[in-house]
Every structure is written in C-alpha cells, then in structure tokens.
C-alpha cells in the first residue's frame, strides 16, 4: 500500500457528487465571475456554454485553498479554456473585462430583472427584451402580456426577491404541518432545498410531505392546499401531477411517464407576523401586523420514494446534475427523485435512506451541508 501523496490529496474529483462542497468556500471572486458568464450564456440560450462555466465554478467551490495563480488549476478537472482565461484576468487584474461587460450590459441587467418575476423564465424574459421592454414599469404598462402567475409575481415583486429567512421557513413548516395533521395524522413535513444544505436564507421554501404507510399520502395535497387557502395562507397556488422539470441537460431527463407520479404545488404563501414597532405600545397595541409573500414548493411523496425525493430536492442543482450524470455514465443507472434503475440488470434499486442510495452508486456519503456544489 503506497502512502498518500500530497498530489493525491489535492486531487479534485470530476463529478460534484464525489466532492465535498461547503457553503462557505475560498474562491468567491472567481466563482462569482464564472457564474455571471454562465448566467449570461443561459440567457442567450447557450446551454452547453452555461453548463461549462457553472461546472468550473462548482469545482472551485470544492477547492480547499484560494487559487492564486493559473498554475493552481492544473490539479482541477473541468476548467475549460474560456473559464481559465476569465480566472486569469481576475487573478491578474482583479476583474475580468469580459465579465464586467456582461454585468454592465443592458440586456443582461434587464433579463436578470425580468427573470426575478415569479413565473418568468429565460424565454419570456428574452421575448420581452426583443419587444423593447426594459423595466418593471414597462411591464406594468403592458399588463396584458402577463399570465396569472406572473401578475401575482409582479404584485409581490419586492417580497419575493427579498431573501427568505430560516425562521420564516420554519414558521411555514409549522403551518403546513398543522394543515397536514388535520387530514393525515402521522404524516411529516420536511424542509429540503438550500435550507437543508445549511443556508441561512433562500429564494423559496422547499417542502416534502410523506406518510410511513404507503398509499396514505394519496389525495393529501389538494386537501392541504384547500385548507391553507381557506385560512388565508395562500396568495397563489398551482398544483401539478408532475414533480420535476428536467434539468437543462435534456438527454439526462427521464421520460414523462416516470415523472408524473408526485403531487406538486407551486405556491406563494402569505406569512404574517407581529413586529414590534417603536411607539405601538403607546397606542396600546402589541405591535404591527406584517405580511410577507414567500414562495413555497410543496411536494407529496409515497414513503417508498421518500429517500429519492429527499436526495433530489436537497440540491444543489450542480450536485443533482452530477449525481445523474455519474449514475448514467459511470454506473449505467438512471437516478431521479422517485427511483434508481439499473439499465443492464433491468431492476429498480430500493433505498430506505439517502445513505443507501450513495451505497448503490458506490459513492461516499456526502452530507447535505457538503452538497453546495
């Protein structure tokens, strides 16, 4: 057995699901630059380029040292020519001219602002830009262009773009648990997404709902949503049979038939809280009533699929994408948020925990806090 060399220890694995990626990392300036150009590429419909830049950023997030010179990149996989050039500019000049141009560009800024509207994706934002629209006020003046989700999104633009705090996410878990308890005692509500990875704020609240008796969960979502609505907790909701939009990488998405098993609800909650306001005591009231709109995704999953759903909804997106790529190209398996299928043995592999899924894939377990790829 040979001793582990320094080089071995510095080796960074090719897939994000083989790496540990903490929330706080040492290459912020570089990853922000790369993520800007990644976003810009996606705005232009260049998915391949976007993926390449965000992979490079993801690799740097797992690197335990600060990159000081392009020579440091030699041990890192997945950093292409273009990414390397941007990194070099940032290292040498403190900023990359290309990235700064993107940040200043009218198109990039406009697309970014439009995309911040709930219900607006790259396609819609791009179309509006083509039509000459530039600001949120331009949209308000052309209200007819908006579908009902987007209208609600515009109405709550400020709230929906202010970070959701962990305390707010936990308050929503309590409300949903209360709703669930009325219709299906014994069912659990689990906070996933970025919060499960240890983030203190998020853009939304991702919740999984399940019950230990398989089948009991059927029909639960519509009852829960109706109740929440009747109690004034919902500003918007839209329920689907399907749970997962395929990631950008089309060839890795599974067929529609395996995707339409969950009940999923995209919603906007109205969270109210009492805020202590100076002066209110004088008037004899206990505080002011404050309302905030918060994006919430509710997903109901059968117990047998819970571990897959938990793994699939915890993210990050880069981590999920590489889990699926690794499964497919290294293991000949298809992983999604319902199942793991071995394409050669033609069997489904069951798992009662996330740990078991990692075992099936021959991967070391990576804790949620280390999945911030």
Catalytic residues, by residue number, are 204, 206, 297
- Of residues 206 through 245, those in contact with ligand DCP by CB under 6 A are 206, 244-245
- Packed helices 122-130 and 28-43: angle between N→C axes, nearest 10 degrees: 70
Question: Between 217 and 320, whose beta carbon lies closer to ligand DCP?
Answer: 320
Residue closest to 327 by CA, chosen among 312, 316, 314, 310: 312
Number of residues that bind Mg ion (CB under 5 A): 5
- Of residues 317 through 346, those in contact with ligand DCP by CB under 6 A are 317, 320
In the set 54, 58, 210, 316, which binds ligand DCP (CB under 6 A)? 316
In the set 78, 153, 202, 368, which binds ligand DCP (CB under 6 A)? 202
316 is in the binding site of which of ligand DCP, Mg ion, none (Cβ under 5 to 8 A by kind)?
ligand DCP
Give the CA distances from residue 260 to residues 59, 281, 291, 357, in Å, rounded to whole numbers and listed in that order.
Answer: 33, 53, 34, 21
Sign of the Cα pseudo-torsion (357, 361, 363, 368, in order): negative
Indicate whether 302 belongs to the interface with ligand DCP (CB under 6 A).
no
Whether residue 231 contacts residue 224, with contact meaning beta carbons closer than 8 Å, is answered with no
233 is in the binding site of which of ligand DCP, Mg ion, none (Cβ under 5 to 8 A by kind)?
none
Question: Between 203 and 328, whose beta carbon lies closer to ligand DCP?
Answer: 203
Q: CB 46 → Mg ion: shortest distance, Å?
A: 25
Cα distance between residue 187 and residue 213, in whole Å: 9
272 is in the binding site of which of ligand DCP, Mg ion, none (Cβ under 5 to 8 A by kind)?
none
Eight-state DSSP code of residue 31: H
Whole-angstrom Cα Rg for the chain: 22
Whether residue 96 contacts residue 31, with contact meaning beta carbons closer than 8 Å, is answered with no
Cα distance between residue 244 and residue 337, in whole Å: 8
Kindly report whether the peptide bond that precedes residue 260 is cis, defined as omega within 30 degrees of 0: no
- Of residues 178 through 237, those in contact with Mg ion by CB under 5 A are 193-194, 202, 204, 206
Indicate whether 153 belongs to the interface with ligand DCP (CB under 6 A).
no
Question: Between 196 and 211, whose beta carbon lies closer to ligand DCP?
Answer: 196
Indicate whether 61 belongs to the interface with ligand DCP (CB under 6 A).
no
Cα distance between residue 236 and residue 269, in whole Å: 7
Q: CB 295 → ligand DCP: shortest distance, Å?
A: 8
Cα distance between residue 136 and residue 128, in whole Å: 11
Residues forming contacts to ligand DCP in the complex (CB under 6 A) are: 193-194, 199, 202-204, 206, 244-245, 247, 313, 315-317, 320
Task: Give residues in contact with Mg ion (CB under 5 A).
Answer: 193-194, 202, 204, 206
């Amino acid at each position: 057995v040979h001793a582990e060399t320094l080089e071995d220890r510095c080796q960074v694995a090719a897939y994000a699901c083989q790496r540990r990626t903490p929330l706080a990392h040492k290459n912020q300036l570089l990853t922000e630059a790369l993520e800007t150009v990644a976003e810009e590429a996606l705005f232009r419909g260049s998915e391949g380029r976007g993926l390449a830049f965000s992979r490079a950023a993801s690799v740097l997030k797992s690197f335990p040292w600060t990159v000081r010179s392009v020579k440091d990149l030699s041990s890192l996989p997945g950093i292409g020519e273009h990414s390397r050039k941007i990194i070099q500019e940032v290292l040498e000049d403190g900023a990359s001219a290309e990235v700064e141009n993107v940040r200043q560009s009218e198109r990039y800024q406009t697309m970014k602002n439009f995309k911040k509207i709930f219900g607006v994706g790259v396609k819609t934002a791009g179309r509006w830009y083509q039509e000459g629209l530039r600001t949120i006020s331009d949209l308000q003046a052309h209200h007819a262009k908006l579908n009902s989700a987007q209208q609600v999104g515009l109405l709550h633009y400020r709230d929906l773009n202010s970070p959701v705090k962990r305390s707010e996410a936990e308050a929503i878990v309590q409300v949903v648990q209360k709703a669930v308890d009325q219709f299906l005692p014994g069912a659990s509500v689990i906070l996933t997404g970025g919060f499960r990875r240890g983030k203190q704020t998020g853009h939304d609240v991702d919740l999984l709902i399940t019950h230990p008796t398989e089948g009991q969960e059927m029909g639960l979502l519509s009852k829960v949503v109706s109740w929440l609505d009747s109690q004034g907790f919902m500003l918007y909701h839209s329920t689907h049979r399907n749970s997962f939009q395929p990631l950008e990488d089309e060839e890795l998405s599974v067929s529609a038939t395996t995707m339409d098993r969950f009940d999923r609800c995209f919603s906007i909650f109205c969270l109210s809280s009492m805020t202590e306001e100076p002066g209110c005591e004088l008037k004899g009231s206990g505080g002011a009533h404050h309302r905030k709109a918060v994006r919430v995704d509710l997903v109901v999953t059968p117990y047998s699929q819970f571990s897959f759903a938990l793994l699939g909804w915890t993210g990050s997106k880069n981590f999920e994408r590489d889990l699926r790529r690794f499964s497919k190209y290294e293991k000949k398996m298809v992983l999604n948020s319902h199942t793991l299928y071995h394409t050669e043995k033609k069997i489904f592999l069951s798992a009662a925990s996330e740990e078991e899924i990692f075992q099936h894939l021959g991967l070391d377990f990576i804790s949620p806090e280390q999945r911030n790829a």
